Amino acid sequence: EYQAEVGEMSARAQGYIGTANAYIASANGYVAEANTRIARANQKYTWYDAQYAKLTAEYARGLAAIKGS
């Protein structure tokens, strides 16, 4: 009687573990997607930052030329 009950509990626990593992795998997929998007956003930010630096330097050179410095 107890063996049957323990076996049933074990089977139920295995089912819960399988469900939990499926949720974890799904969450890992979302994390991977978020990391990919963050990396891409970081690439864009780095590029925009470099463009801003170039334009700022170009503006400063042009302003200096107009002022005759």
Give tens-digit pLDDT for 18-61: 999 999 999 999 999 999 999 999 999 999 999 999 999 999 99
pLDDT of amino acid 9: 95
Query: Where does the pLDDT of residue 68 fall: very low under 50, low under 70, confident under 90, or very high at 90 and above?
Result: confident
pLDDT higher than threshold 70 for residue 14 = yes
C-alpha triplet 44, 50, 55: angle, nearest 5° = 125
- SS3 assignment for the chain: CHHHHHHHHHHHHHHHHHHHHHHHHHHHHHHHHHHHHHHHHHHHHHHHHHHHHHHHHHHHHHHHHHHCC
Specify the amino acid at residue 60.
A
pTM for the model stands at: 0.66
pLDDT of amino acid 59: 97
